[in-house]
Amino acid sequence: MKNLIGTMPKMQQNFELKTPVKDALLFVFGVSITTPWLLIPGQLQSPRLTDLMLIVMAATAFPMTRRAQVVAMSGVAVILVSWILQMFAAEQWPDPAEIVFYGRWLASAVAAAGLVERFQTRDKTLRIFMSGVLAGVVLHVVSIFFAAAGLRDLLTAIGLASPRALVSWAALQVRYTTVAEHPNLAMALVGLAVPAAFCLSLTSRKLNYGPYRGLTVMLLALFLLVAGFSFTLSRAALLAGAMSFLFYLIARRDKAAAAMPFLLVLVMTASLLIAPALGFEFDGTRYASRIDPDRLAQNLAGRGETSVQALLSAFARPFGMGWSAYLESTPLFGVLRASHNGYLFAARTIGLPVAMLILVGHLMSAPLSHKFRISPLLVYCVAIMFAEDITQGASFTFLVTLLAAYGWIGDLHGDRRS
């Protein structure tokens, strides 16, 4: 392992890209995180732009410091061992879907370690990535708007909508999605606008307007959050965005933070006024039903039950059941298949060792998150992980791995490349 770690940077030194090219690729990667564009329009099993860019990020991750290399290779080793033991337990070779699923985790382990080092050694890279994430949210919300306006066929033709599920129904209420096939995932991606905007406001000098740093970007993020909820009616990401928002207010403690509650009311009022002009009408009962106390209590009870059964399932198969077996498995003890917890989902599919690496990494990154200006992202992603099976796609697989890598790599100050 030591020889491998020392050799890999040397193998890729001749192929290292110039900084402007890396920055451009990083921005596109950020866009792909929140807008997972279908590379083959109209195909259910099409690879996403996120998958392609994740491979690119992993391929361009080197050279990196030895500490980052150790973390990356250790993560790869744990994932591979869990995969091999899972295959032995299942007594079958992986199918293409299984290979893609594990490949995303492997690529994320390498790409995350490389980007953690880049984010720590050059602040501009974090701004570039978060700018891409925010731009992707804008594109995602625009695509949902056009889908609601009746342009679903056009969006499908250009890869900005999946043919699987564009419109779904919950309690006789329409919920719109495009590139993200489930409303909860769509809202989780849209909600990333909040931590992205706050990270930008903490790092970008160009957004510094005296004490009111980055208020324009933050207003945009709050507007996108409200718009996303109006289309998807997903509560978990709305709550996660609110938690990230409140954490930011507490952490900042300045005039801008004091103004944010007023600005939030302003955004919601503006949304009520703008929507009718765009042809949409707000139905109060439509939103009230999503926060009805009886329905919320029933939902929480169901989530608690499925989480307990998911935990039992994870202990029964500590190295996971894999992606394909998870999809094919019958409901556990008559309960729905969903775990309603990203950590439990990871434990059930890819194994307890990997899930523990992620959870412990998140705990270890908490003390460092404010210094490296990722605390809004950490709060948001952890909140989402405790609410949804969010690591089914490449976007959140990478993000939760990135945050865990921060914890395992630690502070690289004084250990930077020349």
- Taken as a whole, the chain contains a residue count of 418
Residue 14 has a pLDDT of 46
Q: Phi-psi bin for 42: left (phi > 0), alpha (psi -120 to 50), beta?
A: left
Residue 335 has a pLDDT of 45
Structure tokens given for 176: 């719109």
* Secondary structure (3-state) at 192: coil
Q: How would you write the pLDDT of the chain (418 residues) with one tens digit per residue?
A: 445 445 544 444 445 667 888 899 999 999 999 999 999 998 888 899 999 999 999 999 988 889 999 999 999 999 999 999 998 887 788 888 889 999 999 999 999 999 999 998 887 899 999 999 999 999 999 999 998 888 888 999 999 988 876 666 555 567 888 998 888 899 999 999 999 998 887 766 555 444 445 677 878 888 898 888 888 888 888 888 888 877 777 666 555 555 555 555 555 555 555 555 544 455 555 555 555 555 555 555 556 667 777 777 788 888 988 888 887 764 544 444 677 788 989 998 999 999 999 999 999 998 888 788 888 899 999 999 988 888 888 999 999 999 999 999 988 765 443 3
Residue 204 has a pLDDT of 63
Residue 353 has a pLDDT of 94
Residue 332 has a pLDDT of 45
Separation CA 57–CA 22 (nearest Å): 9
Residue 415 has a pLDDT of 45
Residue 243 has a pLDDT of 83
Separation CA 407–CA 68 (nearest Å): 11
Residue 332 φ/ψ, nearest 5 degrees? -80, 115
Separation CA 307–CA 357 (nearest Å): 20
Separation CA 146–CA 202 (nearest Å): 32
From the list 286, 290, 304, the residue with the least C-alpha distance to 236 is 290
